[in-house]
Amino acid sequence: MSKCDQQFLVVDYFFGELTSDVQLEFENHLETCASCQEHMNALAATSTVIKKQKRKKPQKELLHKYQLQLKNEFYEEKKITSWIEKISEKFIRRPSITIRLAEVLVLLLVGIFIGRLTIWKSFTPNEDVAVSQINVDSSIKQLLLQNYLQETEMIFLDVANLDPVEDQKIILNLIQSSKYKFLIQKTLLLRDQARDLENHQLYELLNQIELILLELYNMEKNAYVETLSVIKQQLKDSHLLIEITSMNQMDI
């Protein structure tokens, strides 16, 4: 019997595994191919013989033993004796839905608590931080005060040294520019701080400066020379300039 190149398809054909197209094509081939027909007969005969063969059943004892061993190994509930195993079984391995929800809730609460702790820590002023903060604040205030005293000293020095008649224009320009430095506002602000800090010396000094500044800023146009002369005299008499200078040189 000559070999056929389609002989192995006979297996799939016999067991009904060919697609309808291939099956039709193979059926046409089978009609003319003696080799494939012979194979078909062999498959049919074998299949008939095998169907007659009944697989011997295992002995009951053996089957029972086999099934029992598998049951014990894989799907029999194992008795849990240790309390650690009990806890792990109840809470980790096989927790009920209630326990699972409770676990999630506890985790959430712990998360919130840790989060809160972190936030509180970041917002609670540390003592060291507070002290350094005060130091920074006081040094800034001191700089501001010194800057203010220097500006005041400069204008008062000019008023005290210049001639109200000859240098009238210069003095008026100085007064005008000092207005833009907000000297009155700074005086009021610093005076309040001096009062709060109970620094009486500074408080009194700022009071006097305020009065002079008010006089300078409120001068009437037709009384410039007269007012300037009065202020010049006041500055000399009050020793305000000396006080400002000394205050400027010391730590307040």
Partner 1 sequence: MSESDIKLVKKAKLGDRRAFGKLVNKYQNKVLYLAYDLLGNYIDAQDVAQNVFLQAFQNITYFRDESSFSTWIYKITTNAAIDFQRSKRRRRALFIDQPQPEEGQNRSIENIEDPYQAIEKRFEDSDLKNLVARVVEDFSPQQKAAFVLKYFHDKTTEEIAKIIGCDPVTVRGHILRATLKLRKKLKDER
Q: Which residues bind partner 1 (CB under 8 A)?
A: 7-12, 15, 17, 39, 42-43, 45-47, 49-50, 53, 55-56, 58-59, 62-63, 65-67, 69-71, 73-76
Q: 211, 231 in Cβ contact below 8 A?
A: no
Eight-state DSSP code of residue 223: G
CB of 34 to partner 1, least distance (A): 15
**What's the token pair of residue 203?**
């408080």
CB of 96 to partner 1, least distance (A): 15
∠ CA(109), CA(112), CA(118), 5° rounding?
140
Crossing angle of helices 200-217 and 240-249, rounded to 10°: 130
User: Judged by CB, which is closer to partner 1: 69, or 150?
Assistant: 69
Q: Looking at the chain, which runs of residues are DSSP E strands? A: none
How many CB atoms lie under 10 A from the CB of residue 218?
A: 8
**What's the token pair of residue 126?**
């540390």
User: Judged by CB, which is closer to partner 1: 10, or 247?
Assistant: 10
CB of 100 to partner 1, least distance (A): 15
CB of 77 to partner 1, least distance (A): 8
CB of 66 to partner 1, least distance (A): 5
Q: Which amino acid is at 17?
A: E
CB of 56 to partner 1, least distance (A): 4
User: Judged by CB, which is closer to partner 1: 46, or 201?
Assistant: 46
User: Judged by CB, which is closer to partner 1: 60, or 121?
Assistant: 60
∠ CA(44), CA(45), CA(48), 5° rounding?
85
User: Judged by CB, which is closer to partner 1: 58, or 115?
Assistant: 58
User: Judged by CB, which is closer to partner 1: 43, or 162?
Assistant: 43
Q: 236, 160 in Cβ contact below 8 A?
A: yes
**What's the token pair of residue 113?**
């608590």
d(CA 190, CA 98): 66
